[in-house]
Chains A and B, each alone.
Chain A
C-alpha cells in the first residue's frame, strides 16, 4: 500500500534536493511504509536475505583480491587465503558458510510465500522476480563452487555442464561453447569467475525491482486479507525495523555457530583435494541446497528428460500464480490445501535425501535385502512435487471450501466486536 508521501523537507538544503532528486523522500517513505500490523517472524526473512546478499558481496569482493583464477594456482590461492591472508580464514569461511545461510533463508522465505499465498494477485510480479532471483542465485552458487578448484568443484562442474551435452543436435556445440573447450579447464574457470563476480549485482538489481513491486502493491500478511484501513497497518519504522533487527541478530547467532564451530559441516571433504581430471570421486554430490533438484534430475533414466524435469521444477514456480486459482490466499483458511502443503515440504526433504543418496541403495528397507531404493523414492517424491503444482492446487482451486475469514486485519487482531480504537501505536 503505497500511500501518498508524508515527507516534509525541514531544511533548505533538503528542500533544494527534494525538488531536484527526491532521494531523501524515497528513504523517508521507505521508513514510514505502512505495513500490515500482523506480520509474524516468517516475514523477517526478506530483511535477512538482504543482509545475506550484502555479506556475500562484501566478503566476495575482498576474496577476489586474493583469489587467482588459474587452474594451476586457484586451489593454492584459496589455501593461501585460509593460511596467510590476515583473517582470510574468516572471510573464506564466511563466504562459503554464507552461501548455505543464504539458501537456508531463501527457502524459508519461499515456503512462507507458498503458505500465505503471497504469489497471488496482485503480487505476481513480486513472486516472479523472486523466482528470477532464486534462479540467478542458483547459477551464482554453482559458478562460485567451481572456483576453489577442489575435486567436487571440478567434477560438479563437469557433471552439470555435461547435461547441456544432452540437448538434441546442438548439445555438443552448446557444451563446448559454455566450457570454452572440450572439458572443464582454464577457459571454463576464468569465465565462471567473471560471471560469478557479475551475477550478485544482477541479483541486487532484481532485489531492487522485487522491493519496488512490494512497495507498490503492499505486503501480504499471515491471514492474507488486504489492508483496508489505516488501523490495519503500522509504520515500517520503528515497528518492523526493530522486529527485523531482532530476527537478524538471532539469524546471525546461527550463522556464527556454523562459521566458527562447524565451518565444514555443510561442505564436502573432497573439496580439500585439488581438482584432478584423472580421478573421479566415488560420489559426486552437489551442495545440500541443490540436492532436491539433483534428485529430480536423476529421477528418470534419460539425461535429456532429466534436465527438462529439473528446469520444469523451477519453471513451474514462475507460473504458480496462475496454477493456484483459489481466491483465498492464506492456507490458514484452506483446511485441505494446508495438508497438501505440509506434505509438499516433507517431499522436498525426501528429495534432498534422495539427492544425497546413491540411487541404487536401499532407502527404506522392507525385509532383508529388499526395500525401496533412493531411485524409486526420488521418483515418487518428484511425482508429488509436480502434482502439487500441476494437479492438486488447480483442482483445490475449484473445489476447496475455505474456512470463515475475519473481515479485516484489525478485526482479526482485536476480535470481531472491537472498533478500531485502542490500536494506536506507542509514541
Chain B
C-alpha cells in the first residue's frame, strides 16, 4: 500500500468510497508516446530493502565521470560517503574522516577556498569535511553552458520526482525513442517522453561503454576483491546511478528501517499488553 503521492492516496480512499457509490475514475494521460516505463524491482524497495552498495559504488563513478560535469550534489559531504549505510562505509573506519576511500574521493575534487595568509582565492584538493562543490560559479553560468536550462542539483533528485528511482532510470533510457508526429524539437532541446512535456535541455548523457567499470569490489574492511566487472551498458549505468542517487536522497534509509522495525515490535507488544490490561480492568463491567 505504498501510495506514492497524495493524489494516489486520496484516489485510493475515493476508489474505496466509489465502489460503494458506483463511480469510476479514469487515470489522466501524460505525453502520447510508445515508450513503456520500466519498473525495476529495486533492492531498496520494501520494509527490509537495502541499497546495493556495490552498484552504488559504481554509481558514484558514473556520477563523478559523467553527470558531475553539469550536476552538483551540494547537500552531500564527502564524509557522508563513508557513513554507516553509505556506499563506502568500512567497518574498520567508524569515523568516515579516516576512511581511505573517502579521503581519496575528496582529494580528487578541487575546492575553491580563501588563502588564510593572503586572502587570495585559491584552489585546493578537497578534504573529507567538504561538501561536493558547485559545478558552475552561478546560475547564469549554468544557464549559459546548457542552452538556457540549469542542471538541477542531484542530491535529492530521487525524492524530488514522483516515483523518483523509476523516473531517473527511465529518463536515462528513454532517449532515442521515436518523436511522435506533430512534435517539434527546437535546437538545444531533446525528445524524452519521460520528462514532463517530453522536451528536455539535457542531451542523452549516457552511451554504451562510457564508463570503465573497475573489476573490483570493496568489502566491509576495505579490501578489494577482484570480480568480473559488469558491462557498462546504458541500463547497467542507469541502474548503478539510481542506487547511488537513491542513497544520496535518503542516506538514513537503512537506519530508518532498522529503528522502525524495533519501534514497531515494541509498539505491537505494548498494544497487546494494554489490550490485555483493558480486558482485565473491564472484566466485570458491562458497557
Residues of A within 8 A of B (CB): 37-39, 76, 79-80, 82-83, 89-90, 93, 234, 238-239, 242-243, 245-246, 249-250, 252-253, 256-257, 259-270, 272-273, 282, 285, 287-288, 291, 346, 349-350, 352-353, 355-358, 361-365, 371, 413-414, 422-426
Contacts and interface: CB of A to CB of B under 8 A. Distances in A.
Nearest to A38: B287
Given A269-B160, A365-B24, A249 B274 contact: yes
Nearest to A88: B252
B7 A364 contact: no
Interface in B248-287: 249, 251-252, 255-257, 259-261, 263-264, 267-268, 270-271, 274-275, 277-278, 280-287
A352 B12 CA distance: 12
Interface stretch (B14-22, B99-107, B112-120, B169-177): B14-22
B268 A346 contact: no
B11 A353 contact: yes
Given A37-B285, A252-B267, A257-B264, A364 B25 contact: yes
Interface stretch (B52-60, B151-159, B183-191): B151-159
Top-4 shortest CB links A-B? A260-B260, A272-B160, A246-B274, A249-B271
A37 B76 CA distance: 57
Given A260-B256, A273-B160, A423-B286, A353 B14 contact: yes
A387 B248 CA distance: 51
Nearest to A282: B196
Contacts of B252: 82-83, 89
A253 B281 contact: no
Contact of A364 (B13, B20, B23, B251): B23
Contacts of B20: 346
Contacts of B198: none
Interface of B: 2-7, 9-11, 13-14, 17, 20-21, 23-26, 28, 47, 75-76, 80, 152, 155-156, 159-162, 164, 196, 249, 251-252, 255-257, 259-261, 263-264, 267-268, 270-271, 274-275, 277-278, 280-287
B256 A352 contact: no
B195 to A, nearest CB: 12
A350 B10 CA distance: 9
A313 B6 CA distance: 23
Contacts of A39: 287
A382 B196 CA distance: 32
Contacts of A425: 284-285
Given A288-B6, A349-B13, 8 more contacts: A79-B155, A93-B256, A253-B264, A264-B159, A288-B9, A291-B10, A352-B13, A364-B24
Contacts of A79: 75, 155-156
B7 A269 contact: no
A269 B164 contact: yes
A89 B256 contact: yes
B80 A83 contact: yes
Contacts of B76: 83
A350 B17 contact: yes
Contact of A256 (B249, B263, B275): B263
A265 B277 contact: no
Given A260-B264, A425-B285, A362 B26 contact: yes
16 contacts: A79-B155, A82-B252, A83-B251, A89-B252, A242-B274, A242-B282, A265-B3, A265-B9, A269-B162, A272-B156, A273-B160, A291-B6, A352-B13, A356-B11, A363-B25, A413-B287
